[in-house]
Each structure stands twice: as structure tokens, then as C-alpha cells.
Chain A
Amino acid sequence: NAGVTQTPKFRILKIGQSMTLQCTQDMNHNYMYWYRQDPGMGLKLIYYSVGAGITDKGEVPNGYNVSRSTTEDFPLRLELAAPSQTSVYFCAGSGAEDTQYFGPGTRLTVL
């Protein structure tokens, strides 16, 4: 099992560009999450999903969108990139046991 994988590892965007951060899990987790982590800060929940076709906002959803068409995939979309979205983005999945399994992260810089 690869667990939770994220692509790309690094990305530089210009202001106003859009991109999709990919997240895939092979652990058959129903729950999936997107977090952002700013330097020296904790994890802030952007969006989450409790199953295919169901998504909900977290603490900081503005400027982002998600979809969950399959159990395995949970992409995060940035439509109009802004410098405030410079961060490290983590995708995570969890099953019935409450443990969250994190991917390796995507480091995004918006210039």
C-alpha cells in the first residue's frame, strides 16, 4: 500500500493562475481532508469529505474548491492563486479508528 500520495511535491504559481493539487489514497478510507500549514503554525483544515460525493468546508475554505467523485481521489483546486495561499498543503485520510494518515505534502509558492 502506498498510503496517501500527493502530487506535485513543489509548485510555483503566478498570481491569478489556477492549479489542482492531487491526492490519492489506497487505504479505502471514507474520510479525507485537506490542510494547510504555514511556517511555524499548526494545521488548518480547508475542506473535508466523509465519502464519495460528499464534501464540506473546514476552517479556511475561501479560495479553494474540492470534489470527491471516487473514494480514492480528493483533489484540491485553487482558482485564482494569491500570495496568501503560499503554504504547505497536506492531504490526509482516515478510517473508522480516528487516526489520520497524512501524505508527504505539496509546497506551493505564489509569486
Chain B
Amino acid sequence: QQQVKQSPQSLIVQKGGISIINCAYENTAFDYFPWYQQFPGKGPALLIAIRPDVSEKKEGRFTISFNKSAKQFSLHIMDSQPGDSATYFCAATAGDDKIIFGKGTRLHILP
């Protein structure tokens, strides 16, 4: 019940295309859903986050879509660029001490 299931494990997208990464959760106590971006050799960094009182949050080319009834949320990267090539982690927390991470998606944008 504490898991966050992330898919796909890896993703290849043409430059200019839309990258979509999906996550699902079971614990209805989760109330904060961040996405982290990690470049090779670096630590993860917060990309964008959403709380369940909204169904969508957009920051530039990055959008989180949130479906509370289905307990699913997804990251959309519009007009994907080679510089977006990285590993992306979805995560969830119930406002307690710990954050639960998905297993990550390795995204590669073809030039």
C-alpha cells in the first residue's frame, strides 16, 4: 500500500514530441505528489509537484495531470528537447516523515 508504481521503465521520444510518464498509488493518505529529475552523476532535483485539490498543474513545458478517483498521476513533457534526457522519479508523501519514490523512468530524447 506504500508503493508508488511508475511506468514505463524507459522511454524514447523524438525531439519535439510529447513524453508521458505514469504513476499509480494505493495509499489514499498521500497528499503531495512531486516529480524529481535526475541527470547522470547528479542528485535528484524537484521538477514540479501537485496536491490532490487540483487536477492539473503546469510549469512551462511540464504538466502534471492528477486523477484522484483513479489514484493515478502523470507527467507530460511537451515539445521534448534533448536536454530533457534524464531519469524521472514520481513520488508521494502523506505529510509524515518519509517520501515514497517510484522506481524511475529513463527518458531519452532523440535529436
Binding site for B on A (CB under 8 A): 4, 31, 33, 40-43, 45, 48, 50, 56, 58, 90, 92, 98-105
Contacts and interface: CB of A to CB of B under 8 A. Distances in A.
A66 to B, nearest CB: 14
Among A56, A102, A104, the most chain B Cβ lie within 10 Å of the Cβ of A102
A1 to B, nearest CB: 15
Interface of B: 6, 32, 34, 36, 41-46, 49, 89, 93, 95, 97-99, 101-104, 106
B44 A43 contact: yes
Contacts of A99: 34, 46, 49
A50 B95 CA distance: 13
User: 8 nearest interchain CB pairs?
Assistant: A102-B43, A42-B103, A43-B101, A98-B32, A42-B104, A99-B46, A102-B44, A42-B101
Contacts of B32: 98
23 contacts: A4-B43, A33-B98, A41-B103, A41-B104, A42-B6, A42-B101, A42-B103, A42-B104, A43-B44, A43-B101, A48-B97, A58-B98, A92-B43, A98-B34, A98-B93, A99-B34, A99-B46, A100-B36, A100-B46, A101-B46, A102-B44, A102-B45, A103-B43
Nearest to B10: A40
B97 A56 contact: yes
B43 A31 contact: no
A104 B34 contact: no
Contacts of A42: 6, 89, 101-104
B43 A105 contact: yes
A100 to B, nearest CB: 6
Contact of A98 (B43, B95, B102, B103): B95
A41 B87 CA distance: 10
Contact of B43 (A40, A50, A90): A90
Contacts of A43: 44, 89, 101
